[in-house]
Amino acid sequence: MFGWQGKTYRKILDNIPDGVYLVDTDKKIQYWNRAAESLTGLTSTETIGKTFDQINIGYEDEVGTALEAFEHPVALCFQEKKPVNKNLFLKIENSAIPVEESVTPVYENGKITGVIATIKNITKCIKTVTAHLKAEKKERLIPICGWCKKIRKENDYWEKLEDFLVEDGFGVFTHGMCPSCADKIFEKKIYLESYQNICKAISTSLSLDEVLQLIVKNVVKVMNVKASLLRLLNNETQQLEVAAYFGLSKKYADKGPVAYDASIDDALAGKSVSTYDITEHEDSTYYQEAMDEGIRSILSIPLRFEKDVIGILRMYTAEPVDYTDEDLKFIEALAEQGAIAIVNARRYESALANEKEYLRVFEEISKAVSSTLNVNELLNMIAKKIPEVMGLKGSSLRLLDKDKKQLDLAAYYGLSEKYANKGPVPYDASIDDALAGKAVSEYDITEHKDSEYYEEAMEEGIRTILSVPLHFRNDIIGVLRLYSSKPINYKNKDLNFMSAIADHTAMAIVNAKHFEQEISKEKEYLRVFEEITKAISSTLDVEKVMNMIVSEIPKVMNLKAATIRLLDSAGEKLILVAASGLSQKYLDRGSIDTEKNVMDALKEKPAAIYDVKTDERVKYPKEMDEEGIKSILTVPILARGKVMGILRLLTVKNRKFSQQEIDFVASLAEVSGIAIENATMYEKSQNGNS
C-alpha cells in the first residue's frame, strides 16, 4: 500500500507524539506507531496484519457505550470516502481518556489505497480551556442546577452546560463521565430506578387517599421540584378538584376548583403542557396566588386510564425550567402508572363499599323478616323493606299456584292499587326464566312493547323490572319483582345479591307458613279433642263411642283409616271392635296379636312405621300393600293406668308421624279408654239390674 523511501518517514511517524496507524483496503492495519502503542496499550505486534475490528482499541462514546465496528472512524472514512473527525473516550483499565481521532483517505491515481488515522490525547486541551474559563469568569457567579447541571443565564433561562460553553466561546469540549456518575446517576438508570420505586410504593396500598399522597410525594422527590398536586376530573361540574398535594401551602392548594383553561384543554387532549414562566401568564386566574406561593414554572400532565383522562398531575418549580424530552417521557409514564393505581384503588374502595352496603341491606332485611311469624305481616314487610333499602320504586311478591299455573299477588309496595291488582300473572318468558332459576332483568320496559301489561307499566312510570325467583330447597314458591322508575343495567353481583335476598325471603315465608300451619293444626287438634271428648262424654253407648273415635280422627289427621282393638276378658287376645276406611277382606286377614308394633303398643310404647312393606314389625305387608296402606301408627288405649287395647291409624302415603301427632293420638286414646271403660261398666251394671 505504502512505499517507503528508506526509513525516514517511518522514523518521523514513530516519533510523532500523536498515535498514527495505517489501514489498507482490506481493513488490515499495516502500521502502528509508538505513540499509538503508548495511548492504547496495544503493541504493533498485536495489531499489524489484523483488521481494526479484530482488535479492541477500547473506544467508547460520551455515555460509556463501546463503539460497534461500523461506528469506528476508520469504517466511516472508507464508507464516506472523506476525512472523519470524532471525539471519543479511550477506555484503559478503570479510566477513560478523552481523545480525538482523525482519519483521512489516501489516494493513488484517483483510487483509495487505504486510510491514515491519528489519535490525539486532548486531556490537556480540556484543562487549558477550563483554566481559561476560570481566568476570564473568575468573578462571575454561575448558578448550576444540582440535579440536571443546567446553567442559569442572565435572562433567568436555564440551558444545557454544553450550549452555554459553546455560546460563550469556550471552544471545543468533549464529554466524560466519572465512575461514580456512571454507577449512580446515569439518567436512564435513575429514571428506571425511580419509576420502579414509585410503582412499588403506590402498589403497596389500596387506599385511594394513600395512593394519591404517595404519587405527589414521590414526584417531588424524584423530579427535584418545589411541589406537586393532583386534580381529579369531575365530569358533572366540568372542574378539576384537588385530590392530593405536597410542597404547597394549604391556602394555595385550596384556592378553589380549577375550571378548564387552555393548558388543561391541551393536557386533556393528551398533550404535556409546560408553562415555562408564570410571569408570562399574568391573565391566569390564579396568577397572583402563584406568585405569592413562589411558583415560576408549572407542568401539567394528563392522568390517562385506557382512553379516558381522569385528571391532571401538576409539578411546580421555584425557577423557570425547560424540561427535556426525557423528563416529559418519564413523568408521562409516571402519570400513567399513577392513573392505573388511582383507578384500581377506586375500584377496590367501591367494591368494599358495595360489600358493606350489601351486608347492611342483608342484615336490615334479615332483621325485618325475622321479627314476625305472621304470614301476611311478613309478606307486606318484605315487599316494603327491600325497595326501601335498595332505593327502588316498589316491589311485588307473587306466590306460585301450581294448579292454576299462575302467580297470585301476595303483597306489594310502592305501586298503585290499580297496577298491583291488574290480575294474576300467567307464565310469560321472564317468569319462565325466573321459575327456571334465572334472575331476569328487563333493562327498559319500552323495549318490551309486546308484554301483556306494557301500557299499565308505562302509566305506572315503570322502566325496569327485575324478576327474582323465590327458592326453597329444590322448589320455587314464587317470584319477587323489583320495579324502578329509570333504566337499570343490573350487574352479576347485583343479581347474585338479590338472589341471596330472595332465597332468605323464601325461607322466611316458608317458616312463617309452617308456623301458621302448626298453630292451625294445634288449634284443630284441640278442637277435635274437645269435640270428641264432649261427644264420648255425652253417651254411655260403647259402640257409638268407639265408632265416633275411628271416624273423626282420620278426618282431622288426613288419614286413610283407623281401628280399635280391645283385649278380651282374659287380657290375652285383641278383638276388633271398631273400624273405618278399610275393606272387610283386609279386616279378616288374621290375628295381629304377635305383630311387633302391636306388642310394643301393649307395653305402652307407641309404634310408628314409615313403610309397611319393608318394616319387620309388620306381619301382613302384602295385604297392607293391596289395601293401599303405606304407614301406620299404633298407640295403646289406657284407662286408669291399665292397657285396654290399641288404636291404630293408617295412611295412603308414606308419612313420618311427628311427636306432636303421636302425643295428640296418645292423649285421645287415653281419653277414649276412660270413656270406653265407663260405658262398659255402665252396660254391665244395666245388664246386672235387668
Residue 624: give its domain's CATH number: 3.30.450.40
Return mean pLDDT, the chain. 79
Query: Exposed e or buried b for every residue in 467-496, given b needs 16+ CB within 10 A?
Result: bbbbbbeeebbbbbbbbbeeebebeeebbe
Does 612 map to a domain?
yes
Which among 28, 23, 19 is positioned nearest to 112, based on CA atoms?
23
pLDDT for residue 64: 81
How sure is the predictor about 273, in pLDDT bands with cuts at 50, 70 and 90?
low
Which among 623, 565, 622 is positioned nearest to 599, based on CA atoms?
565
Q: Which of 349, 379, 404 is the last residue before a domain boundary?
A: 349
Does 39 map to a domain?
yes
How many angstroms separate the most distant Cα atoms in the chain? 178
pLDDT for residue 144: 76
- 683 and 557: one domain? yes
Q: From residue 515, give the alpha-carbon distance in Å to each of 411, 505, 510, 520, 522.
A: 19, 15, 8, 8, 10
Contacts of 74 (CB under 8 A, 6+ apart): 23, 27, 52, 103, 115, 117
Using an 8 Å Cβ cutoff, are 318 and 226 in contact?
A: yes
- 160 and 281: one domain? no
- 173 and 197: one domain? no
- Give the tens place of pLDDT for each residue, 86-96: 988 888 877 88
pLDDT for residue 253: 86
Scanning 294-407, the segments in alpha helix (DSSP H) are 325-369, 375-390
Q: Is the pLDDT of residue 133 over 70?
A: no
% of the chain surpassing 90 pLDDT: 18
- 277 and 169: one domain? no
Please report, in angstroms and rounded to a whole number, the separation of the first and last CA atoms in the chain.
Answer: 167
pLDDT for residue 186: 42
Rounded to the nearest 10°, the torsion over CA 610, 611, 616, 618 is: 90
Identify the sign of the CA torsion 71, 73, 77, 83.
positive
Does 364 map to a domain?
no
Count of domains forming the chain:
5
Find the mean pLDDT for residues 503-509: 76
pLDDT for residue 299: 83
Q: Alpha-carbon Rg of the chain, whole angstroms?
A: 51
Q: Is 365 exposed, middle or buried (0-12, 13-18, 19+ CB in 10 A)?
A: buried
- 131 and 202: one domain? no
Report d(CA 486, CA 462) in Å as an integer: 7
Greatest mean pLDDT among 228-242, 398-412, 574-588: 574-588
Which among 299, 280, 323, 62 is positioned nearest to 177, based on CA atoms?
62
Least confident of 57-66, 232-241, 613-622: 232-241
Q: Which of 121, 141, 167 is the last residue before a domain boundary?
A: 121
Scanning 370-491, the segments in alpha helix (DSSP H) are 375-390, 417-420, 429-435, 454-460
φ, ψ of residue 21 in degrees (nearest 5) = -145, 155
How sure is the predictor about 562, in pLDDT bands with cuts at 50, 70 and 90?
very high
Q: Is the pLDDT of residue 141 over 70?
A: no
pLDDT for residue 677: 82
Greatest mean pLDDT among 42-56, 256-270, 532-546, 670-684: 42-56
pLDDT for residue 6: 46
pLDDT for residue 559: 92
Scanning 540-654, the segments in alpha helix (DSSP H) are 542-557, 584-587, 596-602, 621-627
pLDDT for residue 486: 85
- 267 and 402: one domain? no
How sure is the predictor about 280, in pLDDT bands with cuts at 50, 70 and 90?
confident
Question: Which domain, by its residues, includes 641?
Answer: 539-689
Starting at the edge strand that comes first in sequence, how are the strands of the sheet with 227-234 ordered? 258-259, 239-246, 227-234, 308-317, 297-305, 273-275
Q: Is the pLDDT of residue 268 over 60?
A: no
Of 25 and 126, which is predicted with more confidence?
25
Does 361 map to a domain?
no
pLDDT for residue 619: 92
- 546 and 671: one domain? yes
pLDDT for residue 170: 60
Report d(CA 480, CA 505) in Å as an integer: 9
Residue 19: give its domain's CATH number: 3.30.450.20
Neighbours of 549 (CB within 10 A): 24
Does 28 map to a domain?
yes
Q: Is the pLDDT of residue 4 over 50?
A: no
Q: Is the pLDDT of residue 650 over 80?
A: yes
Does 294 map to a domain?
yes
Residue type present at position 683: E
Of 686 and 587, which is predicted with more confidence?
587
Q: Helix 542-557 and helix 659-689: axis angle, to 10°?
A: 170
Contacts of 288 (CB under 8 A, 6+ apart): none
- 144 and 248: one domain? no
pLDDT for residue 614: 92
Q: Is the pLDDT of residue 624 over 90?
A: yes
- 13 and 155: one domain? no
Q: Which of 513, 528, 554 is the last residue before a domain boundary?
A: 513
Does 584 map to a domain?
yes
Q: Is 250 exposed, middle or buried (0-12, 13-18, 19+ CB in 10 A)?
A: exposed
pLDDT for residue 524: 74
Identify the sign of the CA torsion 455, 457, 461, 462.
negative
- 330 and 438: one domain? no
- Give the tens place of pLDDT for each residue, 187-219: 444 455 555 555 555 555 556 777 778 778 878
H/E stretch holding 609: strand 607-609
- Give the tens place of pLDDT for each residue, 484-500: 988 887 777 777 777 77
Which among 175, 170, 174 is positioned nearest to 133, based on CA atoms?
170
Least confident of 148-162, 196-210, 546-560, 623-637: 196-210
pLDDT for residue 546: 84
Does 485 map to a domain?
yes
pLDDT for residue 637: 92
How sure is the predictor about 622, in pLDDT bands with cuts at 50, 70 and 90?
very high
- 162 and 195: one domain? no
Using an 8 Å Cβ cutoff, are 281 and 312 in contact?
A: no
- Give the tens place of pLDDT for each residue, 29-75: 998 999 889 888 888 888 898 987 788 888 888 878 888 888 889 98
Report d(CA 120, CA 19) in Å as an integer: 6
- 328 and 206: one domain? yes
Q: Is the pLDDT of residue 325 over 60?
A: yes
Length of the chain: 690
Q: Is the pLDDT of residue 236 over 50?
A: yes
Query: Exposed e or buried b for every residue in 312-340, given b needs 16+ CB within 10 A?
Result: bbbbbbebbbebeeebeebbbebbbbbbb
